[in-house]
């Protein structure tokens, strides 16, 4: 079932008890309960009345994103897998929820493992049941196991892809029909500079993050005319995952909270960026892209010289693979390779 953006009165009354109580405190005892509808509209909070799903939100970057989105008025489904033996209150997801609620926000914990093929549907169903709508997806969960290529098994590759790529795919695929139906959505996928450039000892991680870039670009093209905008961020933040690679004295500089404002902006209705790849950390941001140089005819006898010349040419990005090929055809015609 595709849910419309607004919450009907009847559906609002099916919210879990803690949310009912929280909403009545916001509105007063005699008020209608519309948790994400116009009744809670606050022009000072850009995301008031909207719902976000954030994966990997128990700690690190994901937690910072969830807190910032909630501070902007969004209701947040906080996802982080439960570790063995943890009670609800001990989980990192629930601790993030408690921090949001302590600040006056609205949140719910999700403990599904994003590598599970059914995790996307579970999160979407839970968000709709709790908040009545979905507006924003931040696919942040990831994992890495640095190891040289020759020492990694195919199973190792699959494990990293299951979280870093398929974890993003499962959530986005499950939510996509709802976003398209309501003609509104903001999606932020997480990649890495390793996905752009590669890195020694990170072949599996780099490959999974390169796949995220291709997914983002394709979804940006499909979603644009429906006002479903998709971007990717390659964040630099000091966290449990990155601590082995960053000196401890850089922790304050690369505090994860310094990336959160960018992610929050990418989720706002006023943000019209689409199909962009942004590298961000320590309070600064760069725009990245994949590009191609102008074409040159390479003959067998001058391959080395021709490739050296190509490497010195500026690179140009294209809106799509079709646009790239169209330009390539014009170069084929102009260079008359049959001559």
Q: What is the pLDDT of residues 212-234, one digit of tens each?
A: 999 999 999 999 999 999 999 99
Q: For the chain, give the percent of residues with pLDDT over 90.
A: 78
Within the chain, how many helices (H) and strands (E) appear?
12, 8
pLDDT of 44 reads 63
List beta partners, residue 229.
186
By CB atoms closer than 10 A (0-12, 13-18, 19+), residue 235 is buried
Torsion of CA 118, 214, 199, 145, to 10 degrees: 0
Is 205 annotated in the active site? Answer: yes
Low-confidence winner among 25-39, 141-155, 322-336 (lowest mean pLDDT): 25-39
- The CA distance from 50 to 71, in Å, is 12
- The CA distance from 149 to 322, in Å, is 33
Q: Contact 260/218 with Cβ under 8 angstroms?
A: no
pLDDT of 206 reads 96
Q: Quick one: pLDDT band at residue 33, thresholds 50, 70, 90?
A: very low
Residue 149 predicted with pLDDT over 60:
yes
Q: Between residues 6 and 151, which one has the greater pLDDT?
A: 151
Residue 254 predicted with pLDDT over 50:
yes
| CATH superfamily label, 9-288 | NAD(P)-binding Rossmann-like Domain (3.40.50.720)
pLDDT of 244 reads 80
Q: Quick one: pLDDT band at residue 25, thresholds 50, 70, 90?
A: very low
Among 205, 236, 238, 318, the active-site one is 205
As given in the structure block, the two tokens for residue 178 are 């709802």
Q: Which whole number is the average pLDDT over 89-107?
A: 97
As given in the structure block, the two tokens for residue 110 are 């999700």
Q: Where are the domains of the chain?
A: 9-288, 300-335
* Helix, strand, coil fractions of the chain, as percent rounded to 5: 45, 15, 40
Residue 37 predicted with pLDDT over 50:
no
- The CA distance from 231 to 285, in Å, is 14
- The CA distance from 282 to 235, in Å, is 9
Instruction: Record the pTM.
Output: 0.85
Q: What is the mean pLDDT of the chain?
A: 87
Residue 59 predicted with pLDDT over 90:
yes
Q: Which whole number is the average pLDDT over 292-311?
A: 95
pLDDT of 246 reads 82
List beta partners, residue 284.
281
**pLDDT one-digit tens code per residue, 318-335:** 999 999 999 999 999 999
Q: What secondary structure does DSSP assign to 127-153, as a single string?
A: HHHHHS---EEEE-------B-GGG--
List beta partners, residue 247.
none
Residue 74 predicted with pLDDT over 50:
yes
Strand ordering across the sheet containing 136-139? 107-110, 75-79, 51-54, 136-139, 185-190, 228-236, 277-281, 284-288
Q: Contact 120/171 with Cβ under 8 angstroms?
A: yes
Q: For the chain, give the percent of residues with pLDDT over 70.
A: 86
Q: Between residues 26 and 254, which one has the greater pLDDT?
A: 254
């Amino acid at each position: 079932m595709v849910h419309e953006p607004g919450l009907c009165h009847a559906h609002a009354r099916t919210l879990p008890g803690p949310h009912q109580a929280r909403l009545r405190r916001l509105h007063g005892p005699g008020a209608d309960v519309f948790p994400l509808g116009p009744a809670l509209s606050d022009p000072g909070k850009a995301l008031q009345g909207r719902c976000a799903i954030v994966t990997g939100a128990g700690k690190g970057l994901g937690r910072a994103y969830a807190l910032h989105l909630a501070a902007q008025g969004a209701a947040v489904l906080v996802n982080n897998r439960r570790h063995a033996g943890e009670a609800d209150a001990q989980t990192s997801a629930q601790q993030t929820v408690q921090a949001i609620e302590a600040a006056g926000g609205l949140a719910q914990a999700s403990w599904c493992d994003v590598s599970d093929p059914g995790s996307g549907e579970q999160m979407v169903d839970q968000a709709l049941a709790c908040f009545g709508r979905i507006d924003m997806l931040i696919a942040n969960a990831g994992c890495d196991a640095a190891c040289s290529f020759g020492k990694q098994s195919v199973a190792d590759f699959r494990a990293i892809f299951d979280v870093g790529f398929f974890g993003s795919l499962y959530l986005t695929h499950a939510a996509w029909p709802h976003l398209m139906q309501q003609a509104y959505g903001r999606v932020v996928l997480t990649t890495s500079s390793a996905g752009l450039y590669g890195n020694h000892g990170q072949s599996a991680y780099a490959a999974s993050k390169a796949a995220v870039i291709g997914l983002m670009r394709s979804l940006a093209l499909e979603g644009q005319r429906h006002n479903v905008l998709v971007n990717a961020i390659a964040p630099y933040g000091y966290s449990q995952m990155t601590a082995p690679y960053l000196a401890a004295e850089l922790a304050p500089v690369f505090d994860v909270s310094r990336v959160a404002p960018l992610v929050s902006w990418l989720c706002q209705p006023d943000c019209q960026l689409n199909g962009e790849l942004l590298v961000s950390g320590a309070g600064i941001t760069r725009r990245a892209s994949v590009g191609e140089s102008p074409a040159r005819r390479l003959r067998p006898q001058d391959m080395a010289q021709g490739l050296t010349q190509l490497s010195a040419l500026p690179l140009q990005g294209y809106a799509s693979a079709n646009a790239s090929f169209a330009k390539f055809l014009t170069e084929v015609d102009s260079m008359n390779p049959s001559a």
